[in-house]
Structure formats: structure tokens, C-alpha cells
A and B are shown apart, each in its own frame.
Chain A
Amino acid sequence: MVKFIESELDLLRREVERMWGLVYSQLEQAREAVLRSDAERARQIVVREKRVNAFELKIDSDVEDVIALYSPVAVDLRFALAMLKINSNLERIGDYADGIARFVLRSGGVSLDAKLADDLRLPEMFDTVLFMLRELQEALGEENAEKAAGVMAKDDELDRIHAASVAILADYTRRNPDRLEWSLEFLSVFRKLERTGDHLTNIAEEIVFYIDAKVLKHKNNIPDGKE
């Protein structure tokens, strides 16, 4: 028996998947724009950011309608709530891709030294967030909570790359003092990718909540010796 609510939830799922695809593409393009110092690609990302925002508003409104009109309960309610929160996290990731593109535009043609990018493990950082985004989309599609939870461990790697970037860039600016301002701006790219990892962790938690009704939020997230 196909119920009205099932088709509504299916439409919601497809809308979130479309947004997911767009955000993935934005991050993928941001990777190329930074590594190739490609201003034209960066401009396209900034233009497409409006579409990400439009998706967010549409999905917010769709979830509101589902809750108001169909009064979902149990797994349906968890799904609607998870889509609402995933939507918000995807929008923030879209913002970071836009922020990275704007850095490329502000750099005004200054090209990125490939060796510096490698030392900073920037391509790896981009590849990790893209991998996480892909895996989580698959986990949601397959309703595989284990796969979603498994992605969360990757966030530690992003934190390590981000933490190491400060010292490497400080050393770089000592040797290239004329690029101090650029380096400070460049550091924000790492911060944005590190924050993207946090949002991907949130998405993983929402997928686990939807599938298993388990709340992972704020559990085991206090590193040793830190508050």
C-alpha cells in the first residue's frame, strides 16, 4: 500500500539528494578553483551558491508541510527531522565552498605553489571531505547506519591536517614575507574545510538517528585533556 505520506517523504528525499549533488559539485569545483587558481571556476561557484540557498528554503518549507499536513510519527518523523537538519548542514557546507571560491577571487591571480599545497595536504583534505560527502549520501540511500557512523572517524584526519597547516604556513610566510596577507587568507580555507568535516559529522549523526533512533550527538566528542 502506497500512502500519501510515503510519496511526500520520497519527494523530500529526492529534493535533498539534488541539493546534496549540487553541494558536492560546489566543493569539487572549489577544490579545482583553489589548486589551479582558476578565477572563472570560482565565479561560477559564487553564482551557483544562490541555488544552494534556494534549495535550503524549499526543503525547509517542504519539511514544514510534511509535519503540518501528515503528522508523521516514529521513523517518518525521524526522517523528516533528519532531512531538516541535513538540509541546514548542507547549506553551511555550500557556504564554505562559496567562501573558498571568494578567496580565489580575492587572490587576484596569485597562483598556488603546488609543493606548498602538497606540504599542507590540501588536495588530501579536499578529497577527504568529498569522500565523506559521497559515503554519507550512499549511507542515506542504502539506509546504512553503520556506514554513516564509520564516516565520522575521517573527521579526525581533517582536524590533524588543519592543526598542522598553521605551522607550515607560518614557516612559508617567514620565507615569503610579501605573501603574509595572502597566507592569512589562505589559512581560512583550511578552517572552512575543517568546519565542513564537523558538518559532515552532524549529517552522519542525523542519518544514524533516522535509521536507528540513536542519538550520537555530544557523545565521545571531548578530546582527552580538553574541555
Chain B
Amino acid sequence: MEKILIRDVNFWYGDFHALKNVSLGIEEREVVAFIGPSGCGKSTLLRLLNRMNDLIPATRLTGEILLDGRDIYDRQEDVDRLRKEVGMVFQRPNPFPKSIFDNVAYGLRVNGIRDKEFIAHRVEETLRGAALWDEVKDKLKASAFALSGGQQQRLCIARAMAVAPSVLLMDEPASALDPISTAKIEELIRELRREVTIVIVTHNMQQAARVSDRTAFFYMGEMVEYGLTKLIFTDPLKEATQNYITGRFG
């Protein structure tokens, strides 16, 4: 069974038909990249995976999105639980105005965990998992804003991972970072795929090629092609995909 199954999804912002009959399956512990020009619907689809579009007025969804076989748009769905299972990292690092430690511990505390020893252990474990521990272990009480942009983004990944999600959504997670920080995020994605399923939206073709197992190419709300990243970047089936990845679009 696929970890995530998207079936015949259509999505509208008012009259604008943003996603058209999109269907795809994502296997557990795979990294899937969504690529395509701006406005193609890739970020909309990503945000549908943990119901981030719920609060946008005048939107409408048809079709199904299943997580472990469960319809996440079912009326019975507990959205808080869903967002614990499906974490998200955004384009710009957005740490809370708190200490480094408290940022990572935040998710645990709001989920009712009070055991200080457990929290301390989990914070260290998660920061190590985000390849940040060695850089921050001596300043855990310092403000998260004291960190560099790349470190802040890894802190946000650690914060998302602290509550042990099974899926991590990443919306252009390295687009605001320098090449060294970008490389660290990419290495982290390769590491994290041992634990979680990752869906990443990126405009960086090489990044999609480097980090993902499968790639989906979107254009004007339609999924044009979905397949193994190795094939998409060497011998894509559709001409539109080839034109896009080789930069001959438009």
C-alpha cells in the first residue's frame, strides 16, 4: 500500500481551477520531488497533503487523498493529529521567537509531554538527526534567531521531526540558502528518508535530480509526467517534460 495516495484530485481557488485530475501514489520512505513552472499547482498539491489550504476561503476540493489508506479529508479526520503525522518545512526558515531548545521542544510540549528528561533526550536526538547538534549544543538556551539562515532551516526541520512525523513536506526548503547550507539540507534529506517519506517542491532541477527517488512534473494544474527521477532526467517520456528540464520552455 502506498504511504500517500492522491486520487483524481481537483482543486479550485474560487473560479481558478488550480489542480486538474491529479492522481499519484507515493511509497513509504521515498523522496518525491514536485517540479514545474510557477503557478503549475505543485505547491497547492503539497499543501493539500496536510490540509494547509483549509483556511483559504472559497477553495474547493474533489477527489481523495489517502494517508496510510485513510482519507485525510474525511469529516472525522483530526487535523491536529494529521499535522503531527505530516510535518512541513517552508521556503524561509521560520523559527519561533524562543530558544533553540524550546523551538525543538515546542511540538512535544503542545502534545502534552511534560517529562523533562524525555524532552531533553528527544531534543538532542532530533538535533543530531538534523546534523545541527554539534553546532548548537553549547548554546541551546540562545535565541533561535542567533543562528544563520541555513542553521535556522535545519532547526525548523528538527522542530518538525521532534514529534516523529511519518511524512515531511518541504516547500523549496533551500531556495533562500547559500550553496553550503543547501548542500547540508540535501544531505539531511538523504538521511531523513530512512525514517520518513518526503515530498519536496523545488525550482532547482539539479536539486530534484540529486535528492529524489521519483519526480512529478506539473504544468498548468496537470501532472504531465511522474516517474523515477533517473528516467525523468535522462529520458523523459513527454516532450513537455524534456522542454522544461532542459530549459527550453516557453
Contact = CB atoms under 8 A, between A and B. Distances in A.
Given A73-B246, A74-B234, A213-B235, 4 more contacts: A5-B246, A5-B247, A73-B233, A77-B234
Given A213-B234, A213-B235, A75 B247 contact: no
A76 interface: yes
Interface in B232-250: 233-236, 242, 245-250
Interface in A71-101: 71-78
A1 interface: yes
Interface of A: 1, 3, 5-6, 71-78, 213
B205 interface: yes
Given A73-B233, A74-B236, A213-B234, A1 B246 contact: no
B163 to A, nearest CB: 37
Majority-rule SS of B interface residues:
loop
A226 to B, nearest CB: 33
Top 5 A-B pairs, shortest CB-CB distance = A213-B235, A73-B233, A74-B242, A76-B246, A73-B245
B209 A1 contact: no
A217 B202 CA distance: 36
B68 to A, nearest CB: 34
A75 B247 CA distance: 12
Nearest to A71: B206
Contact of A1 (B233, B245, B248): B248
A77 B242 CA distance: 11
A3 B248 contact: yes
Given A73-B209, A74-B242, A3 B234 contact: no
B128 to A, nearest CB: 33
Contacts of B249: 1
17 contacts: A1-B249, A1-B250, A3-B246, A5-B247, A6-B248, A71-B205, A74-B233, A74-B234, A74-B236, A74-B242, A74-B245, A74-B246, A75-B242, A75-B246, A77-B233, A77-B234, A213-B235
B179 to A, nearest CB: 14
Interface string B195-224: 000000000011001000000000000000
A149 B101 CA distance: 64
B246 A78 contact: no
Nearest to B246: A76
A76 B242 CA distance: 9
Nearest to B235: A213
Contacts of A75: 242, 246
